[in-house]
Every structure is written in structure tokens, then in C-alpha cells.
Structure 1
Amino acid sequence: MTQNSHPIPPVSAPPVRGAVRLTDFGVMRAQGEEAAKFLHSQLTQDLALQTLQQARLAGYCSAKGRLLATLLAVKPDDQTVLMALPADVLPATLKRLSMFVLRAKCKLTDASGDWAAWGLSGDVAATWLGAAAPAQTWQVGRLATADGTDAQVTRLPDDGIGPRFLLLQPASAPAPALPEVDLADWHGLDVRAGLAWVRGATVEQFVPQMVNLELIGGVNFQKGCYPGQEVVARSQYRGTIKRRTHPFLVAEGAQPQLAQEIFHSEDPGQPAGLVAATGRSDGREVLLAEVKLAALESGSLHLGSAEGPLLTHQPLPYIVGEPQ
């Protein structure tokens, strides 16, 4: 089975449109005149040249090039960077980054009590945002709140149904006046968009290319050094990428878990991949799995064992080898 540019098949149920409080996400804050410079030296993306109108999807790697976290960074002003990331990796990420601040004029804090992350989906969300809705992926708009603090609105990769946004607003601000979306359905939209966040169960399981991070704007190969850069660059330029993340529809009744192994029918003795993200789409369980590319060419893939629930391969919304 080869990669193609076909969109993910449309769902038959009503599209997921509205807003959901991302209770599984937290927010880190870096503040100071060298905040962006410090983060630039630690993450896979260029934060030094990032403008206030741009978001950065980025990875934080170990020295071996394995992802410790993935995050979305925005700049409310020239001396502040807000980073949204899964809450279960935030404490360890904050602690590790703080170890390397040294004399840099940058203060890192957990700002989850001050800022709330919301997922917004569909044309109804774009209409509610109005002029604050960014037109392009990873662009940032501003939405005024009652206390005078601008909320940050980032356009996320689309899911094949409609536009999606990540809203960072003061925790005290009222919920968006939109229909309520279930968190599992929002995770399903991430799966459809081919976007896998590193969570507690998947820390150090992947180099960035294994979760297609460079294909969706999460790696800059022209920037300066960061932990694990040599491994990431070597994987890219030596053609050694033999594993990629792909979406799958799960057999009815099965409940996939993060970091659960998947197996190939023609090589049942060893795992062929690992579950990187789970969610729900059209009432069915879906997942993103990092998988050996050779295992997509024939046979079948199964959850948990070679006799486990069948996984039906779905096409990605982007082409492997062509960064978005």
C-alpha cells in the first residue's frame, strides 16, 4: 500500500463542530528578554525568528533524538512564550528545561492556572472567531477578552471536515459560545489530521520523523543546535526512516491504549508498531500508530497481538516526503 494524497474518507455522522476545554493540556510560560532565544536552543523549531502572528509546533528531544514532549508555542508579546502541551508531560518538561536555563534571562513557570486551552472546530467556530480566525495553518490571531488580555488563536492542521483552532485564553474567561464537543471526538480529529502529541505513555518512544513531526511543520532543519539534532538530521538526510505514523480504524468493540503494541500477520513474533494517539471518529475508535513501513505493503495489522482486533489502514491527509 503506497501513500497518496487522497483525503481521509468523509464521516457519515454529523461533523464535530464546536468547542471543548482541553482538560488534558497544560500551559508553560517562558518570560524574559532571552526567553525565545533559550527555547530556540532547546526545541526542534525556530523560535528566534517566530513573529507574534506565528505559532510553532515543536518537539523537545533527548540527547538520543527521542521525543520527550511536543508542544505548541505562541508569543503574546516580545518577551513571553506560551507553550501548550499535554499536562502529563508538563512537569517533567518544565523541570528538564529549567535545568538548562543557567544564566539566560528567562523564567519558566507552569501557567496552567492562568491560561486555559480550548479546541475549536468547524465553520461555526470560524464564524464565532470572526476576524480573529487565522486563514493558514500555524498562523495566530488575537481575540479580545473581558479583562483586556488577548486570547491567542492558532489555526491547526485541518481534519478533512473543516477548520480547527487551538484557543489559549485566560482561565477566568467564559467558555466560547459554541456547541460542546466531547474530548474523545476532538482527539479523533487530531487522528484524522495526522497529529500525534507525545504523552506520558509515549515519552522517548519516537524520533520526530516517526510521528511525522517534520511533515506538519514541527522541525526546522536550518536552525542551530538543539538536543538530539544530530540524530534527527541523520535520520532525515541518510534515508534511514523506516517507520512512520499512520491512521487506522479499529475493529468495533476494541479499546486501544496509548503505547499499546501492534502486530503484523506475517511476522507475529515481534511488534510492528506502537499506538501514538487514540480518539473517536464517527462513533468508532481510531488511532495513529507508528508502524514499520514494510508492514503496510501486505498482510494485516492487529492490536495487541497477531490475533488481536483488526486495524484498517486509513490514508494520511498529507504526503509522506512532502512537508506541509
Structure 2
Amino acid sequence: MNDLPSPALDGAAPLSHLGVIRVQGDDAAPFLHSQLTQDFLHLAADQARLAALLSPKGRMLTSMIGVWLANDDIALVCSRDLLVATLKRLSLFVLRAKARLSDATAQFQLWGLAGSAAQAALPPGATPWQQHVQGGAASVRLYPAAGQSRALWLAPADHAAPDAPSLAQAHWLWSEVASGVATLSAALTDKLVPQMLNYESIGGVSFKKGCYPGQEVVARSQFRGAIKRRTYLAHLPAHCAPGTEIHAAGHPDEPAGLVAQCANAPDGSAAALVVLQIAAADATLQTATGVPLTLQPLPYALLQDI
């Protein structure tokens, strides 16, 4: 296996592909706790949450990072192409809960910090999904990429931008793939259970909280050994769109998986997160359009026992 070609990761990049849903009110945390895959009842100022909104069949409709703003105020950062649908679906279940949901994208600025910029925004020893609030800005430690620290930075729209060198957005998108943590986009909505994106191994699922839509399917998949697909990191000679089918050599009519997320590498090749049948991981792989894939080691270990 060859290492992924990597760009220099140091500085701050604007994240225009993401949006913000704001949940405010006395029941903000309990409401999200009842709807998403992670524990929001115990969310505190030094914590964030990777989570997913699921269908009743356990399929991921949206992935998001929940950022603590105050005890009754939580920001959900998600792919902008899923924001409207996510806001509409969550709003259907508010009922009598004291929670107000809104598209707050225009109220905030979102930046990705890498290298020294991320280290400056976070306390020493911060672990993934740990949050640090300073001067009105919240920084969330993300999984690293190419050995470099990374953080999601969120602040009010009128706040000064991060004091850091400019980082090309393309380099940030590459780091998202290299980190091994996929962000769900419209091409994948309602197709995958959380374990197919390794979410139970990277802090995106709590098996100790109460019920939420799709919870029974997620638990059954985990504890009955029903996980047949996993996300892998791959190197490709060319970019492929999310949702592109992947086939094992000799089986052109039987898809073995799909591309979940892809980004260009500095040398013109691409890095991708691909969801594959575990049984096909040792096969010779290519996309439906004939682009070959070479699997790379994930930058984190999969949990074998919850």
C-alpha cells in the first residue's frame, strides 16, 4: 500500500460547503438526545458531539457535529446540501418540546484549522470532539490528517476571522478524507447505517443512551454481528463523485460498495472514503467507470467490542 500524497496542512480554510442548524430553548439538549445517535443530555462546554439523524430503518439521513453554545443553545454543523431537509425533518418532531430550530448559517462563520492554527485554538492534549470556547469562538478537535492537528472553528458572523495563514479549501477537503471521518452528503442520504461509515468507532454513536429513531436497527447490527460493510481509505488516480459504485474485478454487475467522499490530492490524484463489503476488501477494485482503487490503512482502529 502506498501512502496518500499529502499537501502542507497549516492554516485556516473557510468551510462554505457546511451550514448551521441552531437549536435553542430549555429542551434543546433533551430534544436532540431523543432524535440523534449521540448523548446530548450530558453535553457540556468542553464537549462537542459527532452524531447522525436516522430514518426509522436506521439509515443515515444526515451527519453533524453538535457544538455547545450555551446550556439551551446548540449548533448543528452539517453538509449544506442536506440542511433544509434536516431542518424540516427535525422540526416535525419538536411537538411540545421547548426547542426552536432555525437555519443559522448566516449567523456564523465556519473555518477549518490545521497544523499550528489548530494547536493554538485547542488546549494541549485535546482529544477528538473535545471543545474549547475562547473569546466567543468555539473550536472542536477533529481527527488528525497526515499527522497534523485539525479543528472545526465556529464563531458569530461579526467575529474576527481566525488569526492564521490561509489554507486552500481544496487542501482542507483532502484532510477531511484523510482523517477517515466521512461527512454525509445528499448523494448518500438514506443509504447507510452508521457502522458502515465507522461511526461507532469514531464517537458518532452512543449505545448507552435511550431510544431514538432507528436505534433498534443500529443496536441489532452491532450486537448480532450484522455489519457487512465498512468504510475504507483509498487512493485513486482521478476524482470520483460521491455515490459512484465500486466493483471487484470480475464482477462488473455486482457492486461491492460506493464512494462516500472524495477529494483531489496535490499531485492530481485523489483520496477517497469508500464503503465496501468487508469480504471485498482484499479484491482488486475499481469504480463503475473503470478507475482503479488502492486501499490504505485507516488512521484509527475500529472498535471490536463495545
Which bracket does the TM-score occupy, shorter chain normalised?
A: over 0.9
Match of 1:135 in 2: 126
The answer on whether the counterparts of 1:30 and 1:107 sit within 8 Å (CA) in structure 2 is: yes
The answer on whether the counterparts of 1:134 and 1:154 sit within 8 Å (CA) in structure 2 is: no
Matched AA of 1:152 = A
Match of 1:180 in 2: 166
Show structure 2 runs of 5+ residues with no match. Answer: none
Matched AA of 1:286 = A
Matched, 1:219 2:205: yes
The answer on whether the counterparts of 2:247 and 2:286 sit within 8 Å (CA) in structure 1 is: yes
**Aligned partners of 1:104, 1:14: CA distance in 2, in Å?**
46
The answer on whether the counterparts of 1:26 and 1:116 sit within 8 Å (CA) in structure 2 is: no
List structure 1 segments (4+ residues) > 4 angstroms apart after TM superposition.
none
Match of 1:291 in 2: 276
The answer on whether the counterparts of 1:189 and 1:281 sit within 8 Å (CA) in structure 2 is: no
Matched, 1:110 2:103: yes
Aligned with 2:146: secondary structure?
Answer: coil
Q: 2:79 aligns with which of 79, 86, 103?
A: 86
Show structure 1 runs of 5+ residues with no match. Answer: 2-7, 145-149
> Counterparts of 1:1-324 in structure 2 under 5 Å?
9=3, 11=5, 14-127=7-120, 129=121, 135-144=126-135, 150-251=136-237, 254-283=238-267, 284-297=269-282, 299-305=283-289, 308-322=290-304
**Number of residues of Structure 1 aligned to a counterpart in Structure 2:** 305
Aligned with 1:272: secondary structure?
Answer: strand
Give TM-score, length-normalised by structure 1. Answer: 0.90
Aligned with 1:269: secondary structure?
Answer: coil
Cα distance change, pair 14–106 in 1 and its aligned pair in 2 (3 A): closer
**Aligned partners of 1:237, 1:196: CA distance in 2, in Å?**
23
**Aligned partners of 1:240, 1:136: CA distance in 2, in Å?**
30
Aligned with 1:40: secondary structure?
Answer: helix
- Alpha-carbon offset, residue 10 of structure 1: 6.8
**Aligned partners of 2:301, 2:115: CA distance in 1, in Å?**
23
**Aligned partners of 2:208, 2:154: CA distance in 1, in Å?**
29
Cα distance change, pair 68–185 in 1 and its aligned pair in 2 (3 A): same
Aligned with 2:293: secondary structure?
Answer: strand
- Alpha-carbon offset, residue 130 of structure 1: 6.4
In the TM superposition, what whole-angstrom CA distance separates every residue of 1:20-56 from its partner, at most 9, and x where no partner exists? Answer: 1100000011000111000000000000011111000
Cα distance change, pair 124–37 in 1 and its aligned pair in 2 (3 A): closer
Matched AA of 1:241 = I
Indicate the RMSD between aligned Cα atoms, in angstroms.
Answer: 1.9
- Alpha-carbon offset, residue 232 of structure 1: 0.5
The answer on whether the counterparts of 2:263 and 2:272 sit within 8 Å (CA) in structure 1 is: yes
**Aligned partners of 1:94, 1:112: CA distance in 2, in Å?**
12
**Aligned partners of 1:106, 1:270: CA distance in 2, in Å?**
45
**Aligned partners of 1:275, 1:248: CA distance in 2, in Å?**
10
Give TM-score, length-normalised by structure 2. Answer: 0.95
**Aligned partners of 1:90, 1:205: CA distance in 2, in Å?**
17
Of 259-268 and 82-91, the range deviating more from structure 2:
259-268
Aligned with 2:201: secondary structure?
Answer: helix
- Alpha-carbon offset, residue 197 of structure 1: 0.7
- Alpha-carbon offset, residue 268 of structure 1: 2.0
**Aligned partners of 1:142, 1:18: CA distance in 2, in Å?**
19
- Alpha-carbon offset, residue 134 of structure 1: 6.8
**Aligned partners of 1:263, 1:23: CA distance in 2, in Å?**
32
Of 62-71 and 73-82, the range deviating more from structure 2:
73-82
Cα distance change, pair 164–196 in 1 and its aligned pair in 2 (3 A): same
Aligned with 2:29: secondary structure?
Answer: helix
Matched AA of 2:288 = G
**Aligned partners of 2:215, 2:46: CA distance in 1, in Å?**
26
- Alpha-carbon offset, residue 89 of structure 1: 0.4
